Structure 1
Amino acid sequence: MLKDLPLSEHIHQHCNESMERALLAERHPLWARSCPELKDIDFIRLGLLRCISVVDSGRHFLQTNEQIYGQLLPHSTYFKSLKSHRRTSMLEAFEQQSYHLHSETLLSQGIDYIKAFPELDEYTIEAADGNFIDHACHTEKNSKGKVYASGGIYALNLRSGLLIFLCLVTNGTQRHQEIPVLRDHIEKQNKGNNSSQKHLYVYDKAVTDFVWWDRQKRHANYMISMLKENSIATLVESIHFDSRHEINTGVEAYSVYELKFLRNSSSNHSQ
């Protein structure tokens, strides 16, 4: 990466490299297609530009894009592309490679926010949560004439600081709970994951399901959360720690607990 490139060129370079990697990652990607009216790489660039633009709507964005950048794009072409399942698959493949590229760059710069915990080197650690926003004005109503907030689950990589979109909960046409969607995402990930990398999720209390997470240990998936008030955990033993070390600032206790109906499961609890 050249340090003297302007930001726009950095973004353009990153997008091109991510697209090249995405095309090479699959033997015959079904999403690969030539679209002269709106190329995939331009579709991605427009999406990034819209995210950082101060606009009120998609039409406002196209008008601003024409006035500032001199690019005339027919409304029908742009809005139809937003509904394309092929472009959705393309973005998923592109996003994975973009994430890997950013991770490689940060690693080469020595970025590791949890390097003080070498015992976690084998883990991918992500703090995840659902995020919902008002539905789009054109969201189709369901059979009862209702629409809902739309959103998905995002995960923050605690090692690199990169944020990634995990899965869609709802587009606003139906009401869905995020935890069943998260479970489905993890189960799907289990089927296609041949890596020996362990995965540690940090989530709120809603994700607590001792039986389900106990089964996830066979896939090296683990979870950290706050203990629910109605949970009954039995103290196994207290663990000694150096309270004077700066890494333990704010920690009052470090102990192992277990549930009576899950003798083989234990959870660390700190206050």
Structure 2
Amino acid sequence: MSSDVRFTDFKSDKQPTWCPGCGDFGTMNGMMKALANTGNDPDNTFVVAGIGCSGKIGTYMHSYALHGVHGRALPVGAGVKMARPDIEVMVAGGDGDGYSIGSGHFIHAVRRNVDMSYVVMDNRIYGLTKGQASPTSRSDFETSTTPEGPKQPPVNPLALALASGATFIAQSFASDAMRHTEIVEAAIEHDGFGFVNVFSPCVTFNDVDTYDYFRDTLVDLQEEGHDPNDYDDAKDVILDSDKEYQGVIYQDDESVPYGQHQNLGANMSEIPDGAPEDAMDLVREFY
């Protein structure tokens, strides 16, 4: 890994087609800065993306990448990390991709605790398909398909992660460039599954959860003196529906990644003929 890599080295020559002002620009810039700041470079980085406005992020970043199918980015990322534990794996997605069709994979990726990071661009709407309510939309959020609102409570991805045994849970805001980068850095450096939910406003279809809304309401846990190692405090923050928080909410410093549990220190992308039966048992157990 090179020590003189800049975040611009992670930019590809493809121009993003996101709407001007989309929060995904800030989210992606923070991801690239965090990768560079933690000593990674494009040659040792693999970015996996799903479907939605976030889906092309692997195209816009210069690294190894795979654009997967809807809701299936996490098992692909886990497979890459299991096969190549020596590279940095980052999975990117959106609230529709990750918390709807991908929710089952999310739960199991969390509990397996594979050593990779998962950055979710949460704009509380389906943006790519022109503005339907998403799993994290407010219960009264009016759209063309829910004119009176979904009339069901939004999914709380942080609570879902904590209940599934997460060892790192954080939340950031795409427009707060420095803090967002710091938080993603912490997720990358965590020994285990680093989950970051990012408030990434959709300027075209969501006129409720706007930049101004988050600037006016966000509470920074670092300034509040929050202890992310305190499970009960983390639970209180996650279940507090009256406030929006950013920062590292929970971190288990004793976390042992799945690969370490299984002694997967070698490059598994080349399995020799006549591999021992216990190695094949591991593959069957994982999938």
Fold match by TM threshold 0.5 = no
Higher-RCO chain (CA-CA 8 Å, sequence separation at least 6): 2
Which is strand-richer, 1 or 2?
1
Normalising by structure 2, we get a TM-score of: 0.29
Larger radius of gyration: 1
